[in-house]
Amino acid sequence: MGSLIGGRFKVLGPLAEGELSTVYRARDTQTDQPIALKCLSPDLCRDTDALLRFERECRVLAKLRHPHLIGLVKMGWRGALPWLAMPLLPGQPLSEVLQPELPATASQTLAFVRQIGAALSFLHANALVHRDVKPSNVFVDAAGTLTLLDLGVAHDMQSLITRPGLRIGTVTTMAPEQIRGQPIDERTDEYAFAVVVYRMLTGRAPFRGEQQAVLRAHLTEPAPDAHAVNPAVPPGVARALRQAMAKQPSDRFPTLAALCERLELLLEAPATFPMPPPPPTSRRSR
Protein backbone atom coordinates (compact mmCIF):
# COMPACT_ATOMS: atom_id res chain seq x y z
CA MET A 1 0.00 0.00 0.00
CA GLY A 2 3.05 2.25 -0.28
CA SER A 3 3.17 5.21 2.12
CA LEU A 4 2.32 5.08 5.81
CA ILE A 5 -1.38 4.71 6.61
CA GLY A 6 -2.59 7.44 8.90
CA GLY A 7 0.92 8.83 8.97
CA ARG A 8 2.15 6.04 11.27
CA PHE A 9 1.23 2.49 10.19
CA LYS A 10 3.64 0.66 7.88
CA VAL A 11 1.96 -2.21 6.02
CA LEU A 12 4.05 -5.41 6.02
CA GLY A 13 1.77 -7.73 4.09
CA PRO A 14 -1.70 -9.29 3.87
CA LEU A 15 -2.94 -11.20 6.90
CA ALA A 16 -6.50 -12.27 6.07
CA GLU A 17 -9.26 -11.51 3.61
CA GLY A 18 -12.94 -11.47 4.47
CA GLU A 19 -16.21 -10.80 2.71
CA LEU A 20 -16.07 -7.04 3.30
CA SER A 21 -12.47 -6.23 4.11
CA THR A 22 -8.82 -7.17 3.98
CA VAL A 23 -6.66 -7.28 7.10
CA TYR A 24 -2.98 -6.42 6.78
CA ARG A 25 -0.10 -7.08 9.13
CA ALA A 26 1.39 -3.69 9.97
CA ARG A 27 3.73 -1.95 12.38
CA ASP A 28 3.00 1.19 14.37
CA THR A 29 6.03 3.38 13.65
CA GLN A 30 5.30 5.48 16.75
CA THR A 31 5.28 2.59 19.24
CA ASP A 32 6.87 -0.26 17.22
CA GLN A 33 3.86 -2.42 18.15
CA PRO A 34 2.42 -5.03 15.73
CA ILE A 35 -0.90 -3.93 14.27
CA ALA A 36 -3.79 -5.51 12.41
CA LEU A 37 -4.89 -2.95 9.82
CA LYS A 38 -8.40 -3.59 8.54
CA CYS A 39 -9.38 -1.89 5.27
CA LEU A 40 -12.70 -1.99 3.45
CA SER A 41 -12.40 -3.77 0.10
CA PRO A 42 -12.05 -1.21 -2.75
CA ASP A 43 -14.92 -2.72 -4.75
CA LEU A 44 -17.28 -1.97 -1.83
CA CYS A 45 -16.55 1.75 -1.52
CA ARG A 46 -19.98 2.52 -3.04
CA ASP A 47 -21.81 -0.23 -1.14
CA THR A 48 -23.91 1.55 1.47
CA ASP A 49 -24.46 -1.54 3.64
CA ALA A 50 -20.76 -2.42 3.68
CA LEU A 51 -19.78 1.16 4.55
CA LEU A 52 -22.36 1.31 7.35
CA ARG A 53 -21.15 -1.98 8.82
CA PHE A 54 -17.51 -0.89 8.70
CA GLU A 55 -18.29 2.51 10.21
CA ARG A 56 -20.36 0.80 12.92
CA GLU A 57 -17.37 -1.32 13.90
CA CYS A 58 -15.24 1.83 14.13
CA ARG A 59 -17.81 3.54 16.37
CA VAL A 60 -18.24 0.53 18.66
CA LEU A 61 -14.48 0.04 19.04
CA ALA A 62 -13.98 3.75 19.73
CA LYS A 63 -16.76 3.88 22.32
CA LEU A 64 -16.34 0.62 24.24
CA ARG A 65 -13.31 -0.66 26.14
CA HIS A 66 -13.30 -4.06 27.82
CA PRO A 67 -10.52 -6.55 28.65
CA HIS A 68 -12.12 -9.21 26.43
CA LEU A 69 -13.13 -7.02 23.47
CA ILE A 70 -10.72 -6.20 20.67
CA GLY A 71 -9.39 -2.66 21.11
CA LEU A 72 -8.92 0.25 18.72
CA VAL A 73 -5.64 2.08 18.13
CA LYS A 74 -6.77 4.53 15.44
CA MET A 75 -9.19 4.85 12.54
CA GLY A 76 -9.33 6.99 9.43
CA TRP A 77 -9.91 7.20 5.70
CA ARG A 78 -7.58 6.58 2.76
CA GLY A 79 -9.33 8.27 -0.11
CA ALA A 80 -12.84 6.81 -0.26
CA LEU A 81 -11.98 3.79 1.88
CA PRO A 82 -12.18 3.62 5.69
CA TRP A 83 -9.60 1.75 7.74
CA LEU A 84 -9.09 0.89 11.37
CA ALA A 85 -5.98 -0.16 13.27
CA MET A 86 -6.24 -2.73 16.06
CA PRO A 87 -3.67 -4.57 18.17
CA LEU A 88 -2.35 -7.64 16.38
CA LEU A 89 -3.25 -10.33 18.88
CA PRO A 90 -0.85 -13.21 19.51
CA GLY A 91 -2.43 -16.64 19.48
CA GLN A 92 -5.10 -18.22 17.31
CA PRO A 93 -8.87 -18.35 16.82
CA LEU A 94 -10.83 -20.63 19.14
CA SER A 95 -12.02 -22.47 16.02
CA GLU A 96 -8.42 -23.62 15.46
CA VAL A 97 -7.82 -24.50 19.10
CA LEU A 98 -10.86 -26.79 19.30
CA GLN A 99 -10.08 -30.21 17.89
CA PRO A 100 -12.61 -31.90 15.59
CA GLU A 101 -14.97 -34.30 17.39
CA LEU A 102 -13.13 -33.81 20.71
CA PRO A 103 -14.56 -31.92 23.69
CA ALA A 104 -12.68 -29.00 25.18
CA THR A 105 -11.64 -29.32 28.81
CA ALA A 106 -13.97 -28.13 31.56
CA SER A 107 -11.39 -25.45 32.39
CA GLN A 108 -11.36 -24.15 28.81
CA THR A 109 -15.15 -24.11 28.72
CA LEU A 110 -15.43 -22.26 32.01
CA ALA A 111 -12.84 -19.71 30.84
CA PHE A 112 -14.97 -19.13 27.72
CA VAL A 113 -18.12 -18.76 29.83
CA ARG A 114 -16.50 -16.22 32.14
CA GLN A 115 -14.45 -14.18 29.69
CA ILE A 116 -16.63 -14.09 26.58
CA GLY A 117 -19.75 -14.05 28.75
CA ALA A 118 -18.39 -10.90 30.42
CA ALA A 119 -17.61 -9.29 27.04
CA LEU A 120 -21.08 -10.02 25.68
CA SER A 121 -22.79 -8.87 28.88
CA PHE A 122 -20.82 -5.62 28.56
CA LEU A 123 -22.10 -5.17 25.00
CA HIS A 124 -25.65 -5.89 26.15
CA ALA A 125 -25.34 -3.34 28.98
CA ASN A 126 -24.48 -0.83 26.25
CA ALA A 127 -27.60 -1.78 24.24
CA LEU A 128 -25.68 -3.78 21.61
CA VAL A 129 -26.19 -7.32 20.30
CA HIS A 130 -23.15 -9.00 18.70
CA ARG A 131 -25.20 -11.20 16.30
CA ASP A 132 -22.36 -13.54 15.26
CA VAL A 133 -20.95 -15.32 18.31
CA LYS A 134 -18.90 -18.27 17.02
CA PRO A 135 -15.49 -19.87 17.66
CA SER A 136 -13.78 -18.09 14.75
CA ASN A 137 -14.76 -14.73 16.28
CA VAL A 138 -12.97 -15.55 19.55
CA PHE A 139 -9.18 -15.25 19.80
CA VAL A 140 -7.12 -17.17 22.38
CA ASP A 141 -3.58 -16.21 23.37
CA ALA A 142 -0.92 -18.40 24.95
CA ALA A 143 -1.87 -17.22 28.45
CA GLY A 144 -5.46 -18.32 27.94
CA THR A 145 -6.94 -14.85 27.55
CA LEU A 146 -9.95 -14.79 25.22
CA THR A 147 -10.93 -11.81 23.07
CA LEU A 148 -14.19 -11.29 21.18
CA LEU A 149 -13.75 -10.04 17.60
CA ASP A 150 -15.82 -8.73 14.66
CA LEU A 151 -17.84 -5.97 16.27
CA GLY A 152 -18.88 -4.79 12.80
CA VAL A 153 -21.92 -7.04 13.07
CA ALA A 154 -22.96 -5.59 16.45
CA HIS A 155 -26.50 -4.20 16.32
CA ASP A 156 -28.18 -1.48 18.37
CA MET A 157 -30.98 -2.97 20.47
CA GLN A 158 -32.96 0.24 19.96
CA SER A 159 -33.23 -0.81 16.31
CA LEU A 160 -34.24 -4.40 16.84
CA ILE A 161 -35.35 -5.60 13.42
CA THR A 162 -32.81 -6.66 10.82
CA ARG A 163 -33.55 -5.23 7.38
CA PRO A 164 -35.64 -7.70 5.33
CA GLY A 165 -33.47 -9.92 3.16
CA LEU A 166 -30.32 -9.19 5.21
CA ARG A 167 -29.30 -12.23 7.28
CA ILE A 168 -26.47 -11.53 9.70
CA GLY A 169 -24.94 -14.48 11.51
CA THR A 170 -23.52 -17.94 10.93
CA VAL A 171 -25.69 -20.94 10.10
CA THR A 172 -24.20 -23.16 12.82
CA THR A 173 -25.00 -20.72 15.63
CA MET A 174 -27.93 -18.71 14.26
CA ALA A 175 -30.97 -18.26 16.51
CA PRO A 176 -34.45 -18.95 15.07
CA GLU A 177 -35.46 -15.28 15.24
CA GLN A 178 -32.39 -14.33 13.20
CA ILE A 179 -33.28 -16.87 10.53
CA ARG A 180 -36.81 -15.48 10.33
CA GLY A 181 -35.68 -11.85 10.31
CA GLN A 182 -37.62 -11.15 13.51
CA PRO A 183 -36.70 -8.73 16.32
CA ILE A 184 -33.50 -9.62 18.16
CA ASP A 185 -32.10 -8.84 21.59
CA GLU A 186 -29.42 -10.16 23.93
CA ARG A 187 -31.17 -13.54 24.06
CA THR A 188 -30.17 -13.95 20.41
CA ASP A 189 -26.53 -13.85 21.52
CA GLU A 190 -27.45 -16.18 24.39
CA TYR A 191 -28.62 -18.80 21.89
CA ALA A 192 -25.38 -18.62 19.86
CA PHE A 193 -23.28 -18.56 23.04
CA ALA A 194 -25.01 -21.75 24.22
CA VAL A 195 -24.35 -23.40 20.85
CA VAL A 196 -20.61 -22.68 21.26
CA VAL A 197 -20.59 -24.00 24.84
CA TYR A 198 -22.42 -27.12 23.63
CA ARG A 199 -19.79 -27.63 20.92
CA MET A 200 -16.97 -27.17 23.45
CA LEU A 201 -18.45 -29.72 25.86
CA THR A 202 -19.42 -32.36 23.29
CA GLY A 203 -16.97 -31.88 20.41
CA ARG A 204 -19.76 -31.30 17.90
CA ALA A 205 -22.33 -28.69 16.93
CA PRO A 206 -25.90 -29.41 18.09
CA PHE A 207 -27.16 -29.44 14.50
CA ARG A 208 -25.04 -30.70 11.60
CA GLY A 209 -25.51 -31.32 7.90
CA GLU A 210 -26.21 -29.25 4.80
CA GLN A 211 -26.89 -25.56 5.33
CA GLN A 212 -30.64 -25.74 4.72
CA ALA A 213 -30.98 -28.78 6.98
CA VAL A 214 -29.16 -26.97 9.79
CA LEU A 215 -31.36 -23.89 9.39
CA ARG A 216 -34.45 -26.10 9.52
CA ALA A 217 -33.18 -27.80 12.65
CA HIS A 218 -32.62 -24.46 14.39
CA LEU A 219 -36.25 -23.62 13.60
CA THR A 220 -37.97 -26.91 14.40
CA GLU A 221 -35.84 -29.47 16.26
CA PRO A 222 -35.34 -29.38 20.04
CA ALA A 223 -31.77 -28.83 21.17
CA PRO A 224 -30.04 -32.17 21.80
CA ASP A 225 -29.01 -33.23 25.30
CA ALA A 226 -25.28 -32.56 25.81
CA HIS A 227 -25.17 -35.11 28.64
CA ALA A 228 -26.47 -37.83 26.31
CA VAL A 229 -23.70 -37.01 23.80
CA ASN A 230 -20.97 -36.73 26.44
CA PRO A 231 -21.81 -38.29 29.83
CA ALA A 232 -19.07 -36.17 31.43
CA VAL A 233 -21.29 -33.09 30.96
CA PRO A 234 -23.25 -32.53 34.20
CA PRO A 235 -27.01 -33.00 33.65
CA GLY A 236 -27.65 -29.52 35.07
CA VAL A 237 -25.34 -27.99 32.46
CA ALA A 238 -27.15 -29.89 29.71
CA ARG A 239 -30.52 -28.59 30.98
CA ALA A 240 -29.21 -25.01 31.10
CA LEU A 241 -27.94 -25.25 27.52
CA ARG A 242 -31.25 -26.66 26.28
CA GLN A 243 -33.08 -23.77 27.93
CA ALA A 244 -30.67 -21.24 26.39
CA MET A 245 -31.29 -22.85 22.97
CA ALA A 246 -35.08 -22.72 23.28
CA LYS A 247 -36.85 -21.78 20.03
CA GLN A 248 -38.72 -18.89 21.65
CA PRO A 249 -36.56 -16.15 23.23
CA SER A 250 -39.08 -15.86 26.08
CA ASP A 251 -38.27 -19.46 27.11
CA ARG A 252 -34.53 -18.76 27.43
CA PHE A 253 -32.71 -17.22 30.38
CA PRO A 254 -33.73 -13.57 30.77
CA THR A 255 -30.13 -12.46 30.27
CA LEU A 256 -26.90 -14.02 29.11
CA ALA A 257 -25.43 -13.11 32.51
CA ALA A 258 -28.04 -15.35 34.16
CA LEU A 259 -27.02 -18.26 31.92
CA CYS A 260 -23.33 -17.69 32.70
CA GLU A 261 -24.04 -17.59 36.42
CA ARG A 262 -25.82 -20.94 36.19
CA LEU A 263 -23.03 -22.52 34.14
CA GLU A 264 -20.33 -21.24 36.48
CA LEU A 265 -22.07 -22.87 39.43
CA LEU A 266 -22.30 -26.20 37.62
CA LEU A 267 -18.92 -26.38 35.89
CA GLU A 268 -16.55 -27.34 38.66
CA ALA A 269 -13.12 -26.51 37.28
CA PRO A 270 -10.49 -23.77 37.50
CA ALA A 271 -11.24 -21.02 34.99
CA THR A 272 -8.06 -21.30 32.95
CA PHE A 273 -7.63 -21.96 29.26
CA PRO A 274 -4.79 -24.45 28.92
CA MET A 275 -3.68 -24.66 25.33
CA PRO A 276 -3.34 -28.13 23.79
CA PRO A 277 0.25 -29.39 23.49
CA PRO A 278 1.88 -29.15 20.06
CA PRO A 279 1.80 -32.33 17.96
CA PRO A 280 4.80 -34.61 18.60
CA THR A 281 7.68 -34.24 16.19
CA SER A 282 8.58 -37.39 14.31
CA ARG A 283 12.07 -38.75 14.85
CA ARG A 284 13.91 -40.47 12.04
CA SER A 285 15.06 -43.91 13.12
CA ARG A 286 18.74 -44.65 12.75
Verify that 116 and 212 share a domain, yes or no. yes
Q: Are 252 and 244 in contact (CB under 8 A)?
A: yes
The reply to whether 227 falls in a domain is yes
**pLDDT tens readout for residues 117-141:** 999 999 999 999 999 999 999 999 9
Please choose, from the candidates 193, 236, 200, the residue with its C-alpha nearest in 3D space to the C-alpha of residue 109: 200
* Strand positions, DSSP E, the chain: 9-17, 21-28, 34-40, 74-78, 81-87, 92-93, 128-129, 138-140, 146-148, 155-156
pLDDT of residue 164: 44
Amino acid (one-letter) located at 257: A
Verify that 99 and 140 share a domain, yes or no. yes
160-187: average pLDDT: 78
**pLDDT tens readout for residues 236-253:** 999 999 999 999 999 999
Please choose, from the candidates 90, 86, 74, the residue with its C-alpha nearest in 3D space to the C-alpha of residue 36: 86
Q: Which of 39, 60, 87 is the last residue of a domain?
A: 87
DSSP label at 228? H
pLDDT of residue 150: 81
DSSP label at 45? T
Task: CATH number of the domain at 170, please.
Answer: 1.10.510.10
Verify that 46 and 130 share a domain, yes or no. no
Of the candidates 43, 132, 150, 185, the residue annotated as catalytic is 132
The reply to whether 274 falls in a domain is no
Q: What is the pTM of this model?
A: 0.86
CA atoms within 13 A on the CB side of 2: 2
Q: 34-40 and 128-129 as β-strands: parallel, antiparallel, unpaired?
A: unpaired
Verify that 235 and 128 share a domain, yes or no. yes
Q: How confident is the model at residue 55 (pLDDT cuts 50, 70, 90)?
A: confident
The reply to whether 132 belongs to the active site is: yes
Q: Are 260 and 240 in contact (CB under 8 A)?
A: no
Verify that 50 and 150 share a domain, yes or no. no
Full domain range(s) for residue 248: 92-266
Counting the structural domains of the chain, the total is 2
Better-scored residue on pLDDT, 138 or 271: 138
Verify that 81 and 103 share a domain, yes or no. no
Q: Which of 72, 87, 102 is the last residue of a domain?
A: 87
The reply to whether 184 falls in a domain is yes
Long-range contacts of 6-15 (CB under 8 A, 24+ apart): 6/74, 6/76, 6/83, 6/85, 8/74, 9/35, 9/37, 9/74, 9/85, 11/37, 15/88
Verify that 58 and 158 share a domain, yes or no. no
Q: Are 145 and 66 in contact (CB under 8 A)?
A: no
Verify that 27 and 108 share a domain, yes or no. no
Q: Which of 56, 87, 118 is the last residue of a domain?
A: 87
Buried (b) or exposed (e) across 157-183, using 16+ Cβ within 10 A? Answer: beeeebeeeeebbbbbbbbbbbbeeee
pLDDT of 95 > 70? The answer is yes
Verify that 64 and 20 share a domain, yes or no. yes
Verify that 29 and 111 share a domain, yes or no. no
Task: CATH number of the domain at 64, please.
Answer: 3.30.200.20
